[in-house]
Amino acid sequence: MAHALGIDLGTSNSVVSVIQGGRPLVIPGPDGHRLHPSVVSFGYGGSVVVGHAARRQVLYNPSNTIWSAKRLLGRSFHSEEVRKSREVLPYELVEGPNHDVRIRAQGRTYSLQEISAFILRHLRQIAEDHLGEAVDKAVITVPAYFNDSQRQATRDAGTIAGLDVLRIVNEPTAACLAYGVGRAMESNVAVYDLGGGTFDVSILRVLGDVFEVVATAGDTFLGGDDFDENIVKHLVSGLKEADQVRVRRNPIALQKLKDAAESAKCSLSDSELARVKVPALYKDDRGVDQDFEATLTRAQFDRMSYGLIARTFQVCDQAMRDARLTNRDISAVVLVGGMTRSPVVRDAVQAYFDREPESGVNPDEVVSVGAAVQASSLVNALSGPSGPDALLIDVTPQSLGVGTVEGFVERVIERNSPIPTHAARVFTTTRDHQTEVRIRVFQGESRAAADSELLGQFSLVGLPPAPRGECRVRVAFDIDASGILNVSAEDIQSGRSASIRIDASVGLRPEEVEEMRFDSLGF
């Protein structure tokens, strides 16, 4: 039977797995590493390197080496998150033709989908080299709180890389699937997922091989990168004011400190003290190279981490309220993401849920393994009548609705609704003899359109002229198993309809995705 890959496309690192001989296999690269950095570096003459080789270029080629791109995927160029990123990232962010974020490197502009596609192609090549056969099917995971634009961008990245993306699966759901398959559990499981750039928590009800997401919540701009940034700020604060300015204005110096901060953070998972040494960090006012040395204690790191950890528990509070459960109802807590190796995080999670997190689960690999389990299950379902080995019932993470002329959003689908799902509402015209209506689709929990995220818009034209309020338009929302939205509008009287797939407010058009496919470009 053909293999299908399970891919955890992470902010900092990515992992690829497969089910082989009925058992999950996390696939190593030729160097033996099972974590593959989500880094892409562009050299002269159009050369591209990915993974560990690219990560080594961060210090030497910072303006052409792309990291943490997942944080920007599917976002508007004018969003607050992108504004903050432009202030700290050493590579250039530019606005795309559809208000999306693009990256300029070596004189060429790349979409974020292309950056992700380079990583996916790298993972696919690692898998094919290890398995000795071509593989073109995959399940790719995303943070549970990714919106429709971000999910579609991830699917588009897979298409550009030449993959048949069987499904987009939420990372916490995949982790629970990897943890629970074969255990024959009947329990409520909390998955606390603190990765490099995003945080999610999901509450799942597991009954045998049925995995039902009850509630999910998250913050797509909170992760290990923020813990590293806290350490960097702490280290820089120990310098004289003039030297602080020199370091902050030097992207190479900042990257050196960030790498040292990340190493110190990892060391503090096992030690009470980490020594930070960075040779030739900056030049003083005489132009002389200055080495940097400092110590960081676990107690110091813990104190600077409490605020970020508290933010994760605000998200957990929301998920628990939505699930209508208390800590006593939770039978198991599964930790996901490299940040959960930190003792201060593990201890805080144990205190919050009043339960020790599950041991024996590799937080770096469990998401990819769960994706591989789902990929194998879907391939089995396609190849025979037996059906999937495990049934996933996921939810939509945010409410979806239609904007009104008064500036409000009328909800059509509430957050945490099981998917796939279909829902519709009937709207009426607001002006006499109106022959066209514009359907604006929003995502978010605010009733105000200005405080919600515009996913896209389209028009239904050719309506029969009538007094206002008499022409009735049925707007239908369909969300597939990957959490991707399709919207349609129909004039009930004439049967005239429009849309199908919404034109995203940011992102790539379908024809752009086809033009960027690596197999058509010879990459």
The answer for residues whose C-beta is within 8 angstroms of residue 487's C-beta and 6 or more apart is: 439, 441, 456, 458, 475, 476, 477, 478, 499, 502
Q: How confident is the model at residue 385 (pLDDT cuts 50, 70, 90)?
A: very low
Q: Name every residue whose Cβ is closer than 8 Å to that of residue 213 and which is 6 or more positions away in sequence.
A: 170, 173, 202, 203, 204, 392, 393, 394, 395, 416, 418
Local confidence band at 103 (pLDDT 50, 70, 90 cut-offs) = very high
- Concerning whether 70 is annotated as a catalytic residue, the answer is yes
Closest by alpha carbon to 423, among 447, 399, 405?
Answer: 399
For the segment 343-358, the average pLDDT, to the nearest whole number, is 95
Structural domains of the chain in order of their starting residue, each with its CATH number = 5-222+311-394 (3.30.420.40), 224-303 (3.90.640.10), 396-506 (2.60.34.10)
Residue found under tokens 């989500």: 38
Per-position DSSP letters for 495-514, written without gaps between them: --EEEES--BSSS--HHHHH
Catalytic residue among 70, 256, 258, 265: 70
CA–CA gap between residue 380 and residue 156 (Å, rounded) = 24
Per-residue pLDDT tens digits for 190-206: 999 998 888 999 999 99
For the ranges 105-114, 186-195, 418-427, 452-461, the lowest mean pLDDT is seen at 452-461
- Cα separation, 71 vs 145, whole angstroms: 12
The question of whether 8 is a catalytic residue gets the answer yes
356 is catalytic: no
- Residue 502's pLDDT band, with cuts at 50, 70 and 90, is low
Average pLDDT estimate for 451-480: 90
Mean pLDDT of the chain: 90
Stated pTM of the model: 0.87
Three-state SS string over 53-79 comes to: HHHCCCCCCHHHEECCHHHHCCCECCC
pLDDT for residue 336 is more than 90:
yes
List 100, 114, 148, 193, catalytic entry:
193
Residues in the chain: 523
Q: Which residues pair with 218 in a beta bridge?
A: 200
Instruction: Tell me the average pLDDT across 360-370.
Output: 91
Which of these is catalytic: 100, 114, 148, 171?
171
Q: Is the pLDDT at 500 greater than 60, yes or no?
A: no
Q: Return the beta strands (E) in 414-465 as ranges.
A: 418-419, 421-428, 436-443, 453-461
Structure tokens at 338: 């490299």
Q: Where does the pLDDT of residue 291 fall: very low under 50, low under 70, confident under 90, or very high at 90 and above?
A: very high
Q: Is 302 a catalytic residue?
A: no
